[in-house]
Amino acid sequence: MHLIQENRVVVTGLGAVSPVGIGKQNFWQAVTAGTNGIDKITLFDATDYTCQIAGEVTDFDPALFIDKKEIKRMDRYTQFALAATSLAFDDAKLDAGKIDGDRAGVFVGTGIGGMSTLHNQYEKLFAKGPSRISPFFIPMMIANMAAGNIAIAYKLHGPSECIVTACASGTNAIGDAFRVIQRGEADIMFAGGTEAAISPAGVAGFAQMKALCSDHNDDPAHASRPFDKNRSGFVMGEGSGIIVLEKLEHAINRGAHIYAEIVGYGRNDDAYHITTPAPGGITQSKCMKLALDDANLRPDEIDYINAHGTSTHFNDQSETEAIKIVFGDHAYKLAVSSTKSMTGHMLGAAGGIEAVAAVLSIETGTIHPTINYETPDEGLDLNYVPNEAQTRTVNAAMSNSFGFGGHNACVVFKKFVG
Catalytic one of 216, 250, 308, 368: 308
Burial of residue 126 (CB within 10 Å: 0-12, 13-18, 19+) is exposed
- Measured CA to CA, the distance from residue 52 to residue 42 in angstroms comes to 9
Mean pLDDT of 161-179: 98
In a domain, 359, yes or no: yes
In a domain, 239, yes or no: yes
Q: Check whether residue 176 and residue 109 sit in a common domain.
A: yes
- Work out the percent of the chain whose per-residue pLDDT is above 90: 98
In a domain, 3, yes or no: no
Last residue of a domain, one of 226, 253, 280: 253
Q: Note the pLDDT tens digit of each residue in 90-140.
A: 999 999 999 999 999 999 999 999 999 999 999 999 999 999 999 999 999
Residue 4 has pLDDT above 50, yes or no: no
- Work out the percent of the chain whose per-residue pLDDT is above 70: 99
Q: Which DSSP state fits 166?
A: G
Catalytic-residue membership of 162: no
The CATH number of the domain where 379 resides is what?
3.40.47.10
Q: Check whether residue 308 and residue 219 sit in a common domain.
A: no
**What per-residue confidence (pLDDT) applies to 358?**
98
Last residue of a domain, one of 253, 286, 312: 253
Q: Note the pLDDT tens digit of each residue in 314-340.
A: 999 999 999 999 999 999 999 999 999
In a domain, 131, yes or no: yes
Q: Check whether residue 227 and residue 362 sit in a common domain.
A: no
In a domain, 171, yes or no: yes
Contact 304, 367 (CB under 8 A): yes
Q: Note the pLDDT tens digit of each residue in 49-67.
A: 999 999 999 999 999 999 9
Q: Check whether residue 234 and residue 269 sit in a common domain.
A: no
Catalytic-residue membership of 2: no
Counting the structural domains of the chain, the total is 2
Q: Check whether residue 319 and residue 287 sit in a common domain.
A: yes
Q: Check whether residue 220 and residue 367 sit in a common domain.
A: no
Q: Check whether residue 125 and residue 170 sit in a common domain.
A: yes
Q: Check whether residue 354 and residue 299 sit in a common domain.
A: yes
Greatest distance between any 2 Cα atoms in the chain: 64
**What per-residue confidence (pLDDT) applies to 3?**
45
**What per-residue confidence (pLDDT) applies to 5?**
54
Catalytic one of 216, 250, 345, 368: 345
- Measured CA to CA, the distance from residue 113 to residue 116 in angstroms comes to 9
Q: Note the pLDDT tens digit of each residue in 194-218.
A: 999 999 999 999 999 999 999 999 9
* Owning domain of residue 140: 9-253
192: part of which helix (H) or strand (E)? strand 188-195
Last residue of a domain, one of 205, 227, 253: 253
Catalytic-residue membership of 167: yes
DSSP characters over 57-106:
-TT--GGGTS-HHHHTTS-HHHHHHHHHHHHHHHHTT--GGG--GGGEEE
Q: Check whether residue 341 and residue 229 sit in a common domain.
A: no
Of 175 and 1, more confident: 175
Q: Check whether residue 229 and residue 309 sit in a common domain.
A: no
In a domain, 297, yes or no: yes
**What per-residue confidence (pLDDT) applies to 72?**
93
- Measured CA to CA, the distance from residue 336 to residue 45 in angstroms comes to 36
Catalytic one of 51, 162, 167, 213: 167
- Measured CA to CA, the distance from residue 232 to residue 310 in angstroms comes to 10
Q: Check whether residue 361 and residue 381 sit in a common domain.
A: yes
Q: Note the pLDDT tens digit of each residue in 339-358.
A: 999 999 999 999 999 999 99
Q: Check whether residue 228 and residue 306 sit in a common domain.
A: no
Mean pLDDT of 258-265: 98
In a domain, 4, yes or no: no
Mean pLDDT of the chain: 96
- Measured CA to CA, the distance from residue 146 to residue 192 in angstroms comes to 11
Of 25 and 5, more confident: 25
In a domain, 182, yes or no: yes
